């Protein structure tokens, strides 16, 4: 579904990504871990071109994202959901409007259809009673669940998660991870940057370790955690586990 | 008693004699018309300029429009409004016959637009970049994100500052007399030159401005409190 070829990204003379190549298949749950500054968030943000790659190619559903005109890019982004560390809900809109504004303004649904979809999604994330409230009235965990519902409203083919639980109070991490687990079980293709090793072990179909702007090691989670080969990964795991 | 009698006589001479109070009411009407339409023009120009400037800052596009916007801001904010008014009336429209009210609306609107633009731009820049990214990640392009996500939030943040700008504008229109437009200030001045009595007409003019400004400021204060309250949810 997503093919990445020799992806490079630098800010000025500072190389963040130094040539990343990988293929993400439909239905895969790829979890990316690594120390801070390893480039994992930048990699994720290149996948939907929130960051413009310096070199390399990203092929999404057979189309080259990197050389695409902006107009086409927005159409592609409709199919690539993203969930942010700091939620980025729209504070001036009710929860319902947060979920419906994109499908309605993009002409994919009329307000009635979108409202119906929002009701389904709110039920799914367990927040049906919050439809008419505003984001500031919600806890962090609830905000992130709404953010996930908002991206689901676009019927995406893949969702990118950028440290979705890093800004949450510890007692709220579980509710968000459980929802993500549910999505994974339903077959959603997911690329997740996280520090939650338990989630990686349990949900990932493949775990990827990034350090210094390259993928150092990737494997299915059992082997990845039981038998890490790269010394840097071993050192990293010994610190976080 | 003699003092009171002469004061009443002066009041009569200044305002009642020859229906001179008409100079004030007609002038006030002109002042309000000029302020209102100049504010409208200022809002339109200001928002357009701000959107051009911040789009250029965020995306690097619209280079030529951005240059024009910068030139506009520099010239308007770098010269006195009276000079702008005189140039528009005596230079630009020298050979065209259009009503002075319209000239004044253009001059003050053009002037106000530059200040509105910087207020709006600061409002747009104050919105977290994550809001743009959230819009983009949902497939909304820059204009849609701007219109539905950024501007409503920015507008709310800058509403008090905008209202203050229009209070300033109301007072600034008092220089309209430079092109012989009979606004409130000029109306008072006409009475002064007719009666050779400066105190009463000028104080009356000042009081009318003061009442309007205080009333508008109260409204702005009310608005600010209302916004602050809904922010706390």
Q: Give CA–CA dist A53/A43, Å, rounded.
A: 9
- pLDDT bin (cut points 50, 70, 90) of residue A187 is very high
Nearest beta carbon to residue A88 from set B130, B141, B152? B130
- Determine the pLDDT at residue A39: 92
ipTM entry: 0.91
Query: HEC states along A175-217?
Result: HHHHHHHHHHHCCCEEEEECCCHHHHHHHCCEEEEEECCEEEE
The reply to whether residue B131 touches residue A88, judged by beta carbons under 8 angstroms, is yes
A&B contacts, CB < 8 Å: 65
Reported for B144-150, long-range contacts at CB under 8 A and 24+ positions apart, including other chains, are: B144/A105, B144/A106, B146/B51, B146/B55, B148/A101, B148/A105, B149/A90, B149/A101, B150/B124
Query: HEC states along B94-126?
Result: CCCCCCHHHHHHHHHHHHHHHHHHHHHHHHHHC
Chain B residues with CB under 8 Å of A142 CB are none
Pair B112, B49: CB distance under 8 Å? no
Q: How far is A215 from chain B (nearest CA, A)?
A: 25
Chain B residues with CB under 8 Å of A88 CB are 128, 130-131, 133-134
Q: Which CATH superfamily is domain B26-182 in?
A: MetI-like (1.10.3720.10)
Q: What is the pLDDT of residues B91-123, one digit of tens each?
A: 999 888 899 999 999 999 999 999 999 999 999
Element (H, E) at A82: strand A80-83
Residue in A46, A91, A146 to test binding to B, most B beta-carbons within 10 Å: A91
DSSP bridge pairs for A4 = A22, A58
Instruction: State the greatest distance between any 2 C-alpha atoms of chain B, in Å, as a whole number.
Output: 80
The reply to whether residue B152 touches residue A136, judged by beta carbons under 8 angstroms, is no
Tokens of A51: 């960051």
Residue in B138, B156, B230 to test binding to A, most A beta-carbons within 10 Å: B138
Q: How far is A202 from chain B (nearest CA, A)?
A: 27
Q: Give CA–CA dist A136/B76, Å, rounded.
A: 40
Supply φ then ψ for residue A216, to 5 degrees. Answer: -85, -40
Residue in A105, A159, A167 to test binding to B, most B beta-carbons within 10 Å: A105
Query: HEC states along B127-148?
Result: CCHHHHHHHHHCCCCHHHHHHH
Mean pLDDT of A182-193: 96
A69 touches chain B (CB under 8 A): no
A70 touches chain B (CB under 8 A): yes
**Rounded to two decimals, what is the model's pTM?**
0.85
**A80 CB-near residues (< 8 Å, 6+ apart):** A47, A48, A60, A156, A157, A158, A159, A160, B137
Name the percent of chain A lying above pLDDT 70.
Answer: 100
Pair A77, B137: CB distance under 8 Å? yes
- Determine the pLDDT at residue A18: 94
The reply to whether residue A78 touches residue B148, judged by beta carbons under 8 angstroms, is no
- Determine the pLDDT at residue B13: 82
Q: Give CA–CA dist A160/B111, Å, rounded.
A: 47
Tell whether the model's pLDDT for residue B232 goes beyond 60. no
Q: How far is B149 from chain A (nearest CA, A)?
A: 7
DSSP A163: S
- Determine the pLDDT at residue A241: 79
Q: Give CA–CA dist A191/A160, Å, rounded.
A: 5
Q: How far is B65 from chain A (nearest CA, A)?
A: 20
User: Which of A25, A20, A67, A3 lies closest to A157 in space, CA to CA?
Assistant: A25
Supply φ then ψ for residue A218, to 5 degrees. Answer: -145, 145
> Helices (H), strands (E): how many in chain B?
10, 0
Tokens of B64: 């030529």
Average pLDDT, whole number, for chain A?
Answer: 94
Chain A residues with CB under 8 Å of B155 CB are none
Q: Which residue of B has its CA nearest to A52?
A: B59
Q: Which residue of A has its CA nearest to B157?
A: A92
The reply to whether residue A89 touches residue B134, judged by beta carbons under 8 angstroms, is yes
Handedness of CA A118, A119, A122, A124 (dihedral sign): negative
Chain A residues with CB under 8 Å of B138 CB are 77-78, 81, 102, 106, 150-151, 154
Supply φ then ψ for residue B24, to 5 degrees. Answer: -75, -45
Q: Give CA–CA dist B180/B182, Å, rounded.
A: 6
Burial class (CB in 10 A: 0-12, 13-18, 19+), A59: middle
Q: What is the pLDDT of residues B152-175, one digit of tens each?
A: 999 988 988 999 999 999 999 999
Q: What is the pLDDT of residues A90-114, one digit of tens each?
A: 999 999 999 999 999 999 999 999 9
Q: Which residue of B has its CA nearest to A78?
A: B139
User: Which of B205, B161, B151 lies closest to B183 in space, CA to CA?
Assistant: B205
The reply to whether residue A77 touches residue B137, judged by beta carbons under 8 angstroms, is yes
- Determine the pLDDT at residue B233: 46
A148 touches chain B (CB under 8 A): no
A107: left (phi over 0), alpha (psi -120 to 50) or beta: left
Mean pLDDT of A166-180: 95
Q: Which residue of A has its CA nearest to B144?
A: A105
Tell whether the model's pLDDT for residue A215 goes beyond 90. yes
Q: Give CA–CA dist A98/B152, Å, rounded.
A: 14
Q: Which residue of B has its CA nearest to A47?
A: B137
């Amino acid at each position: 579904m997503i093919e990445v070829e020799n992806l490079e990204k630098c800010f000025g003379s500072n190389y963040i990504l130094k040539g990343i190549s990988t293929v993400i298949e439909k239905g895969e749950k790829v979890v990316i871990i690594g120390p801070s500054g390893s480039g994992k968030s930048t990699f994720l943000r290149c996948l939907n071109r929130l960051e413009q790659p310096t070199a390399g190619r990203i092929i999404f559903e057979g189309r080259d994202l990197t050389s695409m005109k902006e107009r086409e890019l927005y159409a592609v982004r409709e199919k690539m959901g993203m969930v942010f560390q700091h939620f980025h809900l729209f504070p001036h809109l009710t929860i319902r409007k947060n979920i419906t504004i994109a499908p309605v303004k993009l002409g994919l649904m009329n307000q009635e259809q979108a409202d119906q979809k929002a009701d389904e999604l709110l039920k799914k994330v367990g927040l049906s009673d919050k439809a008419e409230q505003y984001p500031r009235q919600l806890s962090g965990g609830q905000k992130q669940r709404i953010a996930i519902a908002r991206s689901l409203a676009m019927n995406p083919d893949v969702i990118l998660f950028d440290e979705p639980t890093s800004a949450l109070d510890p007692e709220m991490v579980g509710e968000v991870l459980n929802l993500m687990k549910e999505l994974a079980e339903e077959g959603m293709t997911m690329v997740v940057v996280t520090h939650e090793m338990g989630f990686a072990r349990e949900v990932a179909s493949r775990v990827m370790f990034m350090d210094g702007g390259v993928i150092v090691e990737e494997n299915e989670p059992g082997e990845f955690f039981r038998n890490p080969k790269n010394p840097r990964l071993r050192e990293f795991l010994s610190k976080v586990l | 008693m003699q003092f009171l009698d002469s004061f009443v006589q002066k009041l009569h001479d200044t305002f009642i004699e020859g229906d001179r109070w008409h100079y004030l009411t007609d002038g006030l009407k002109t002042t309000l018309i000029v302020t209102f339409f100049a504010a409208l023009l200022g809002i339109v120009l200001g928002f357009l300029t701000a959107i051009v400037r911040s789009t250029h800052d965020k995306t690097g596009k619209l280079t030529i429009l951005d240059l024009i916007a910068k030139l506009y801001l520099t010239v308007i904010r770098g010269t006195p409004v009276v000079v702008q008014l005189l140039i528009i009336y005596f230079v630009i429209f020298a050979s065209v016959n259009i009503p002075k009210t319209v000239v004044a609306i253009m001059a003050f609107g053009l002037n106000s637009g530059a200040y509105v633009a910087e207020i709006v731009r600061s409002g747009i820049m104050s919105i977290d970049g994550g809001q743009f990214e959230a819009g983009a990640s949902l497939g909304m392009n820059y204009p849609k994100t701007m219109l539905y996500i950024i501007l409503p939030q920015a507008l709310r943040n800058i509403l008090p500052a905008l209202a203050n700008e229009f209070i300033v504008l109301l007072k600034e229109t008092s220089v309209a007399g430079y092109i012989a437009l009979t606004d409130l200030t000029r109306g008072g001045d006409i009475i002064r030159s007719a009666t050779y009595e400066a105190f009463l007409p000028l104080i009356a003019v000042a009081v009318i401005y003061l009442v309007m400004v205080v009333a508008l400021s109260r409204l702005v204060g009310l608005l600010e409190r209302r916004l602050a309250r809904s922010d706390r949810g």
